[in-house]
Amino acid sequence: MARKSSGQRNYAVLLTCWILALFALFAVKLSTNYSASYSLKVVLTNLPEDKSLVSLSDSVLIVTFEDKGLSLLPLELTSKKIIIDYQKMASSYQKKYNNICFQKQQIIEYIQRKHKFSDNVKKIQPERICLHLQNE
Helix (H, G, I), strand (E, B) or coil at 95: helix
pLDDT along the chain (136 residues), means of 10: 64 89 83 84 88 87 84 77 87 86 89 75 89 87
Residue 57 and residue 114 in one domain = yes
Residues 30 and 118 sit within 8 Å (Cβ to Cβ): no
CATH code of the domain in which 91 resides: 2.170.120
Residue 58 and residue 97 in one domain = yes
Got the DSSP string for 47-78? Answer: --TTEEEEEES-SEEEEEEEEEHHHHHHHHHS
Residue 62 and residue 115 in one domain = yes
Residue 22 and residue 36 in one domain = no
How many structural domains comprise the chain?
A: 2
Q: Given its phi and psi angles, is residue 46 left (phi above 0), alpha (psi -120 to 50 degrees) or beta?
A: left
Residue 23 and residue 41 in one domain = no
Residue 26 and residue 36 in one domain = no
Residue 26 and residue 59 in one domain = no
Residue 22 and residue 79 in one domain = no
Residue 82 and residue 125 in one domain = yes
Residue 62 and residue 1 in one domain = no
pLDDT of residue 5: 63
Give the Å distances, CA to CA, from 73 to 59, 78, 79, 98: 24, 9, 12, 37
Residues 109 and 122 sit within 8 Å (Cβ to Cβ): no
Q: Residue 112: which domain range?
A: 32-135
Instruction: Give the angle subtended at the CA of 81 by the CAs of 75 and 87, to the nearest 5°.
Output: 115
Q: Given its phi and psi angles, is residue 84 left (phi above 0), alpha (psi -120 to 50 degrees) or beta?
A: beta
d(CA 27, CA 4): 33
Residue 103 and residue 93 in one domain = yes
Residue 38 and residue 103 in one domain = yes
